[in-house]
């Protein structure tokens, strides 16, 4: 049985270009590392290397603490896709696509997280991410103001 993708949508009151840049280039400025990281209290930032093949890396004071995924599609300011496996086996990585659609008064941002079937705990993980992405995206929206 296939596990359905998780779809999250938010609206940020900024341009498509700025919404994309905030999500990618400034990921470390808004991501809630205190609660959503692999290094917990050791994490100081997270960076997304903006190109196909670029990595998403969590850093501490002494360097990389771990890799969260790899960029598989890069189409600024419209969308990006990446694998997703923070703190877990890359063979069980999910796939995430984030799309940025301009609106009259902001940008619609849609995050689609799929690939749950690759994980032995796929259904449980999907449920945890359901609330987790809401929490994380709230920080993104707040930081976009």
Structure tokens at 7: 């779809």
Q: What are the structural domains of the chain?
A: 6-143 (3.30.530.20)
**Residue 56, strand partner residues:** 48, 69
CA nearest to 52, candidates 26, 83, 94 = 83
pLDDT tens per residue, range 44-76? 999 999 999 999 999 999 999 999 999 999 999
40: confidence class by pLDDT, cuts 50, 70, 90: confident
Residue 57 exposure: Cα atoms within 13 Å on the Cβ side: 10
Structure tokens at 123: 């259904």
Query: Does the pLDDT value for residue 137 go beyond 90?
Result: yes
pLDDT tens per residue, range 93-110? 999 999 999 999 999 999
Q: Which residues of 91-110 are buried (b: 16+ CB within 10 A; e: fewer)?
A: ebbbbbbbbbeeeeebbebe
């Amino acid at each position: 049985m296939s596990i359905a993708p998780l779809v999250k949508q938010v609206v940020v009151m900024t341009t498509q270009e700025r919404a994309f840049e905030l999500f990618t280039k400034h990921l470390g400025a808004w991501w809630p590392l205190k609660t959503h990281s692999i290094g917990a209290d050791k994490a100081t930032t997270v960076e997304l290397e903006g190109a196909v093949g670029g990595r998403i890396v969590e850093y501490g004071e002494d360097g990389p603490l771990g890799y969260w995924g790899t960029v598989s599609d890069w189409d600024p300011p419209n969308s990006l896709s990446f694998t997703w496996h923070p703190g877990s086996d890359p063979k069980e990585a999910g796939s995430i696509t984030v799309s940025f659609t301009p609106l009259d008064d902001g940008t619609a941002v849609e995050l689609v997280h799929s690939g749950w079937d690759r994980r032995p705990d796929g259904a449980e993980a999907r449920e945890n991410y359901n609330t987790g992405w809401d929490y994380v995206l709230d920080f993104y929206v707040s930081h976009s103001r």
